Amino acid sequence: MAIKKVMVIGAGQMGSGIAQVCAQSGYEVLLNDVNREALQKGMQNIEKLLTRSVDKERISEQEKSETMNRLNSTTDIQEVKNCDMTIEAIVENMDVKTKVFRQLDEHAPEHAILATNTSSLPITEIAASTNRAEQVIGMHFMNPVPVMKLVEVIRGLQTSDETYGAVADMAKKLSKTSVEVNDYPGFAANRILMPMINEAIFALHEGVASVEDIDTVMKLGMNHPMGPLTLADFIGLDTCLYIMEVLHEGFGDSKYRPCPLLRKYVNAGWHGKKSGRGFYQYS
Ligand code: CAA
Ligand code: NAD
């Protein structure tokens, strides 16, 4: 069955980006969030980025309005009843995600594929909370979604070949390159990236160098577009901590222990750019 209508659950930085690229690629999109303000902010961000693309003559005014016409928002998850596909992008927490997946399983049409944008949580466990494990899959976009070309497509233990094929196809329609990854903690992207970020935080914690100098080492020394501490702020320090916890618990190896400084910042409510304070101050 062709995918025409997609519900994106979570209108934060990832969900709004996913909704934008889906709508720009011709899909009907319903953006959902429990928080009305977050939903409004997500929709405003999309409009702002599309306006910027018009200003830069990358799309026409008409393409912008066609994209916006394909986008609707709702706080009612039961509206999933007319969708062929869902992409969940809410907080990186297993209990919250499985609660949402149980609701989606109850209200989405039988044929619908339920994807998650989780950064690290086991797809197999998320799938087991539904009665359609063969139609549950990981579709891991990178931040910022409209710019980054990669999507990790992660098969859970029971994900069917049909589901995998439909999602890999969709990634192509979104002009993304997909890679096929098996269900291991952190998948491929965050198993490699997050220990590097965590090590940068340890270097800061141990007084090896300042925030700015650690970032400069990786920017000018390794040609990374952003230093690891800027990148951590950009991703969200809460998300970085959750991912390190998944790696630590999933592999049972102390090399993945989250840096205490990361935990301290998250406990203080310093969640990075989105909260106004992380390793840097934003205002
Ligand atoms: N949303 C949408 N578009 C954005 C954006 C955002 N948040 N931030 C920047 N852009 C766009 C800009 O609009 C700009 O487009 P134009 O051509 O229209 O100007 C373009 O990206 C380049 O931006 P800038 O010139 O302002 O800045 P830059 O050259 O430094 O690029 C960047 C910004 C693309 C974010 C770049 O710094 C970069 O690639 N950083 C690393 C990002 C990265 O590593 N992402 C992966 C994070 S890990 C992850 O996502 C997985 C996970 O599970 C945690
Ligand atoms: P975010 O904090 O920016 O947004 C999360 C949104 O989900 C919020 O608007 C919140 O109101 C909403 N939400 C929470 N519970 C909900 C529920 N039950 N129903 C509907 N909406 C709900 O987070 P984010 O950075 O967009 O991350 C979202 C997901 O994407 C996480 O699983 C994260 O690991 C993953 N991810 C993040 C990045 C990144 O760089 N930030 C990259 C790839 C994947």
Q: Is 152 a catalytic residue?
A: yes
Domain 190-273: give its CATH code: 1.10.1040.10
User: How large is the C-alpha radius of gyration of the chain?
Assistant: 19
The CATH architecture assigned to 5-182 reads 3-Layer(aba) Sandwich (3.40)
Between the alpha carbon of residue 3 and those of residues 48, 66, 68, 94, the distances in Å are 27, 19, 19, 27
Residue 96 and residue 34 in contact, taking contact as beta carbons nearer than 8 Å: no
Q: Which of 53, 120, 140, 178 is catalytic?
A: 140
Q: Is residue 230 packed enough to be buried (19+ CB in 10 Å), middle (13-18) or exposed (0-12)?
A: buried
Identify the pLDDT of residue 44.
98
pLDDT at 160: 98
CB-based contacts of 63, cutoff 8 Å, min separation 6? 24
The whole-number pLDDT of residue 112 equals 98
Q: Where are the domains positioned within the chain? A: 5-182, 190-273
What ipTM did this prediction achieve?
0.97
Block means of pLDDT (10 residues each) for the chain, 283 residues, are 95 97 98 98 98 96 98 98 98 96 98 97 98 98 98 98 98 98 96 98 98 98 98 98 97 98 98 97 93
Q: Looking at residue 227, what is its pLDDT?
A: 98
What distance in angstroms lies between residue 92's CA and the mean position of ligand 2's atoms?
Answer: 7
Q: The pTM is what?
A: 0.97
pLDDT for the residue numbered 1: 73
Q: How far is the CA of 218 from the centre of ligand 2 (A)?
A: 27
User: Which of 176, 194, 100 is CA-nearest to residue 140?
Assistant: 176
